[in-house]
Structure 1
């Protein structure tokens, strides 16, 4: 079973093999965590993403990490669901983001991966439900990844994730 750690901070500063970004379908960068990762990795990340696009909601694709500080070698791009009140299969799609992120990490040989809170920003997914889905999906995934670090940007997300991880 994969170990899960929760930290509060900047995902671009994580000491892991791969970071996951909450991308849009173009994989060319956006706002929030995706924008931060793209700024830190440099312009080549958007160029590489454009060659792989589109990436549909629930899927994940990988690029090199370019200018991110080693040991980060890969950026795994996943597209979360836009919250529509729970009527558009959002929970299944969000779970798929975490599952596919781990599958791609396995394909890359990554043993340590940092995930943000996918879809809780401009996509509007309710943070408490998103946190539960993230933790449950990671815990139940068949993966060779040894460590998943859930990186919370704010204190509220951090507290939600800690409460779920600490109940194990």
Structure 2
């Protein structure tokens, strides 16, 4: 007997929910990568702390969703994820923002970042509403709330 034989079996998650979760994970991984890079580019400690907070919020979302939807369930999707077109839009925006961190004023890049993150939040909130699995919906909603709080802190930073 193995230790895993004593663990309760995870409930099967419907394909539609797995697709939503897979897309949410991909979207947050894009953001996480951007914010980890942005930390290295920032001189201001307050801005670095914001980037770190946003990276951590996205990382926690990815870790918790990945834990709840075991990798074997997610890997069953293979290429059949019906990837949100918004993921490629966000990927391009994060890439452009990465370039902007080096060339444009910090405030302009932060303004663009705020706009992008608002779109990401809207997409994640829609995903939460679309989930049929109540525990996953609750988990995603709580993590989206963390990202929203971090986003709101940035909005306050801009207006100060």
Q: Give the TM-score range, shorter chain.
A: 0.3 to 0.5
| TM norm structure 1 | 0.32
| Higher percent of residues as helix | 2
